[in-house]
A and B are shown apart, each in its own frame.
Chain A
Amino acid sequence: MTTSAVTSADIARETPRSDFGRILAQRERRFAAALLAPAFLALLATTTFPLLFLVYTSAFRMDLAMPFTNGFVGFENYQVLLSDERFWTSLLVSLVYTGSTVALQVIIGLALALLVMDMKRGQGWFRVIAILPVVLSPAVVGMIWRTFMLAPEFGIVDFLAINAGLGSKNWLGDPTLAMVSVIAIHTWQWTPFAFMVLLASLASLPEDIYEAARLDRASAWQRFRRITLPLLRPAIVMVIIMRTMVALTAFAAIFTVTGGGPGTATEILNLYAYRKSFTELSIGYGAALAVALLIVTIIISGILFALRRAK
């Protein structure tokens, strides 16, 4: 705090026993409570309450299609879940989807940021065009790709594939190609995010270190390995954490493009929980799946935060 004015908080700190200070501090606390109350009550209602109610729901059989079987089942949903092949498959699909999209975003985003950083002209183009994908609704992005890009023959991707001699492919009908497609779409939409954040971090790095390195005859690769990468590490880790959280709960684009299909080829855990609850109407089991997703999210973010602390 670099202020010359004496704040009420200062007074309160300086003279803890004076009535004046105590009253001021107390007033400040009350004012703070009044200002915070609406937002935090709304957050309690829309995040904490649903969490508790979700865990509660997961202990019930709640079939909207067959209400007569409903009732308290305790941990039965979780027992079923552990031996549910579709659950383990969806978990694997989630991990593959998250791992590959995040890795691609960071690698391509970093490479582009380094490239654009050295540009004398044309940086502005990148800055404007990179904004386009990230502000779009993933549902709309999914729809555009599903139709105008990936449709057989007149879709641009298929057209390019035909001209590259690969032939027309059933991009969304083949399990492997469908997975490649949804990974590519997510990467397309969010790489600009990694690019913009890393470009901003690159721009804030101190010039003089590089000058010194040049005088020391360090090669470009050495400068990258020994200076740029270590300095960028916090930003890269932040991007990885943020993008991992988003990829784990990706929904709209996959829902729009493949709906989790063909079969369950692109059904990430998030989508399985949705389908179970709102397509198959087994709300109790869907809730158990959502709890499982929450646990997976907590474990993965725990690992990432541990890595962040590790040197």
Chain B
Amino acid sequence: MTAKRLRAIALLAISIVFLLAWAFPIIWSVLNSLKTDSDVLAYPPKLVFSPTLEAYRDVLFGSGSILPNLLSSAIISVGTTIVTMLMAVPAAYALARLRFHGKKFAGFYLLATQMLPPVGIIIPYFLVLRNIGWIDTYQGIILIYLSFSLPFAIWLLVSYFEDIPFEMEEAAYLDGASRLKTLWRIIIPQVRGGIAVTVVFVFLNAWNEFLFAVVLSGNTVRPVTVAMFNFVSVEQTLWAKLAAVSVLAMLPVVVLGVVAQKHIVKGLTVGAVKGGGRR
């Protein structure tokens, strides 16, 4: 029996080490955001300290406030989500439900677009957007975000559309409702849950994107992931403020991630070519 006990204890220890390893960097950032700079720099690292909200007050309302950057991130993410959904919902419905020539090719094309490295998209787009004066604009960033958000949203929505029964739309259609009306009135309400999950993920990906943002942002449009760098310079690092900005940048996505917890695996693996069935 002791061998069994030892094994159980070992497994428990391993579990705790891993949970800590994943959670700790995040918890540590939160703790550091509640410290003064001298407390952040203390050696050995301080777990017990008198918390202060000073860093948050400074980064939100002091000079060089990151409120405009949080707003930038929000506008980009909401904008990308709206445009993506308006295009992806009809396309996903057609792919999941209708019969037309070239359906296979459309699916293949959707997968193939994801092979192109983002850096290969941004190099030519930088030249194009520079010529039309769309660097440092919301429309420039949102347009290029469609390159990754559209294929993702379409795949995810297709998987939800495929789950709803045919009878409803057929009945409505035979009753003489137009196709568009059927789609809007009958079908979309049935995939409301799937649409909500897709919205969460599209928002999340847009909020987190960095490469396109760093190339296309300027003084007007500067999302928080890019603005973070204001707090780390060669001369000095504003430790507590940097921690506070990191926490503010993490907050929305962590909340969304936990809310969409049940759907996260589906959201992460969507568009992946399904491994063959059981053999």
A residues whose Cβ falls under 8 Å from a Cβ of B:
1, 3-9, 12, 25, 27-29, 31-36, 38-40, 42-43, 45-51, 53-54, 56-57, 62, 112, 115-116, 119, 122, 125-141, 143-149, 153-154, 156, 159, 188, 192-193, 196-197, 200, 230-231, 233-235, 237-238, 241-242, 245, 248-249, 251-252, 255, 270, 273-274, 277-278, 283, 286-287, 290-291, 293-294, 297-298, 301, 305, 308
Judge if B196 is at the interface, Cβ distance under 8 Å: no
Which residues from chain A contact B144 at a C-beta distance below 8 Å? Answer: 46
CA distance A140 to B232 in the complex (A): 13
Q: In the complex the two chains form, is B265's CB within 8 Å of A144's CB? A: no
Inter-chain CB contacts under 8 Å: number: 293
Q: A5-B174, A273-B117 are in contact. List 11 more A-B contacts (CB 8 A).
A: A12-B99, A29-B99, A31-B179, A35-B90, A54-B123, A119-B15, A132-B22, A144-B25, A149-B28, A245-B115, A290-B120
Q: In the complex the two chains form, is A54's CB within 8 Å of B120's CB? A: yes
Q: Which of B59-115 contact A (CB under 8 A)?
A: 86-88, 90-91, 93-95, 98-101, 106, 109-110, 113-115
CA distance A178 to B15 in the complex (A): 27
Judge if B26 is at the interface, Cβ distance under 8 Å: yes
Which residues from chain A contact B273 at a C-beta distance below 8 Å? Answer: 238, 241, 305
Judge if B215 is at the interface, Cβ distance under 8 Å: yes
Q: In the complex the two chains form, is B275's CB within 8 Å of A137's CB? A: no
Contacts A28-B99, A144-B25, A234-B275 given: A154-B40 contact, CB under 8 Å?
A: yes
Judge if B23 is at the interface, Cβ distance under 8 Å: yes
CA distance A164 to B161 in the complex (A): 54
Which residues from chain A contact B91 at a C-beta distance below 8 Å? Answer: 35-36, 38-40
Contacts A135-B204, A154-B42 given: A57-B123 contact, CB under 8 Å?
A: yes
Judge if B167 is at the interface, Cβ distance under 8 Å: yes
- 19 A-B pairs within 8 Å (CB atoms) are namely A8-B173, A35-B91, A43-B146, A46-B144, A50-B121, A57-B123, A116-B15, A131-B258, A132-B23, A133-B22, A134-B264, A135-B253, A136-B253, A137-B209, A154-B41, A255-B211, A283-B123, A291-B120, A308-B275
B residues whose Cβ falls under 8 Å from a Cβ of A:
11, 14-15, 18-19, 21-26, 28-29, 32, 40-45, 86-88, 90-91, 93-95, 98-101, 106, 109-110, 113-121, 123-128, 143-144, 146-147, 150-151, 154, 165-167, 170-171, 173-174, 179-180, 204, 207-211, 214-215, 225-226, 228, 232, 237, 239, 242-243, 246, 249-250, 253-254, 256-258, 261, 264-265, 268-269, 272-279
Q: In the complex the two chains form, is B22's CB within 8 Å of A192's CB? A: yes
In angstroms, how far is the closest chain A Cβ from the Cβ of B136?
Answer: 14
Which residues from chain A contact B109 at a C-beta distance below 8 Å? Answer: 40, 43
Q: In the complex the two chains form, is A238's CB within 8 Å of B272's CB? A: yes
